[in-house]
Structure formats: structure tokens, C-alpha cells
Amino acid sequence: MKTMGPPKVELPSPKNFLKKHSMEKTLPPKKKFDWNEPRKPPVPLRTDHPVMGIRSEKNFINTNAADVILGVTKKPKPIYVDKRTGDKHDLETSGLFPKYINKKDYGVTPEYICKRNEEVKKAQEEYDKYIQENLRKAAMKRLSDEEREAVLQGLKKNWEEVHKEFQSLSVFIDSIPKKIRKQKLEEKMKQLEHDIGVIEKHRIIYIANK
């Protein structure tokens, strides 16, 4: 009730109250007894005697001797004794008998493991290929002196344009849009000055290929 809330069940109707004898089991309907139904055979009388004198012509001695001679010799079950009192135990289930190393497929890698190893190897090769491709795409490229100089001049030109726009602002900043515009221009000039300083400071510059 703490997690799911009160149970939403339909309340029982007042009309469906427990009535007298409503829980008693109903008996099957009565059937008329029929004397003609089949019955069990009658019990033999005391004067009845069983049939006697019937003899079989089968020679049980010769039959048993032939079964023993032609039958397969029963091998004794291998056992081992672990105490001097003669406690016997099954040898096959004890682990002392080399049962599994005599199998034909002993020491052979199962087929499902070979298949799984191939799938893992294939997935690893695809992953390595993907990593090498990303590394090749993200390889660093060195800027030449001409490109460095062109980037530097472009940044200085942008800074001059932003500075000129900043100088054209009104002296009195008396509204919120003017303050926001002034802040944006100051941030842009600061970022351009930082970029220009980095390029002028470092002669060799590498960029990542995207």
C-alpha cells in the first residue's frame, strides 16, 4: 500500500450475503438400482477342485544350461575399497578411473567455442579498423608559414573591424540592449586578441583534421 496505493477493488454488494447451507456440497442425483448390471464372477465352492495333472514337456535343465553356455559372460562391476574393513564403492563414479581422457574428443576445443572465438576475433578486427580510421581522420596537420600568416592577418583584420564597431558606440550606455552589445563586442575583441597572441607566440602550429 505504501508503494502502489490503496487497492482498487470492487466492494461486495450487500445483497450477496452468506446464506444458510450455501457452502454445503451438493450430492449427485439418486440413481435407481438395476439388478441386471454385470457383476464379478462368483466365488468357487468348497466342493470345486482345480484342474490337476497338467505337466509341461519343456526340459528346464537343458534350457537353463544352454542359456548359460550361449550367454555373454557378465563382467564384474569395478569397485574399490578405501578402508581395511572392506567398504566397497563404485570405481567409475569415484574419479579414480581415467574415464574422460580416453574419449575421442578429449582435449579438442568444442565447436561452439571455436565459433565464438572467430566472432570475437572478427569483432576485434572491425573495432581496430574503426579506431585506425578515426585516428587517420583525426591526424594532426602542420600549418605552413603562408597559412599561418594568412590566418594571423585575417584575425587582425577581424579585430580591427570589431574595434571600429566598438568605437562607434555611443558615449552614454543608458539601455540594456546597448550594454549587451558592448559586452559582446568586448568579449569578441578579447577572444581575437587571445588567438592573435597564441599564433604570434608559436611558430609551429598543428591542427586536427575533422
Q: What is the pTM of this model?
A: 0.36
Closest CA to 198 of 148, 163, 158, 160: 148
Element (H, E) at 79: strand 79-81
Q: Does residue 172 register a pLDDT over 70?
A: yes
The owner of cell 565459433 is: 115
Q: Does residue 85 register a pLDDT over 90?
A: no
Q: List Cα–Cα distances, 123 to 82, 111, 119, 194, in angstroms.
A: 53, 18, 6, 45
The amino acid present at 165, given as its one-letter code, is E
For residue 210, the model assigns a pLDDT of 58
Q: Does residue 184 register a pLDDT over 80?
A: yes
Question: How far is residue 186's CA from residue 194's CA, in Å, rounded to a whole number?
Answer: 12
For residue 203, the model assigns a pLDDT of 81
Tell me the percentage of the chain whose pLDDT exceeds 90: 18
Task: Give residue-wise pLDDT tens across range 36-45.
Answer: 777 888 888 9
pLDDT band at 1 (very low <50, low <70, confident <90, very high): low
Question: How far is residue 190's CA from residue 167's CA, in Å, rounded to a whole number?
Answer: 15
Residue 206, phi then psi, degrees to nearest 5: -115, 145
Task: Give residue-wise pLDDT tens across range 134-152.
Answer: 777 777 777 788 888 898 9
Residue 165, phi then psi, degrees to nearest 5: -65, -35
Q: Does residue 104 register a pLDDT over 90?
A: no
Q: Does residue 35 register a pLDDT over 80?
A: no
pLDDT band at 123 (very low <50, low <70, confident <90, very high): very high
What is the pairing mode between strands 140-142 and 88-90? unpaired
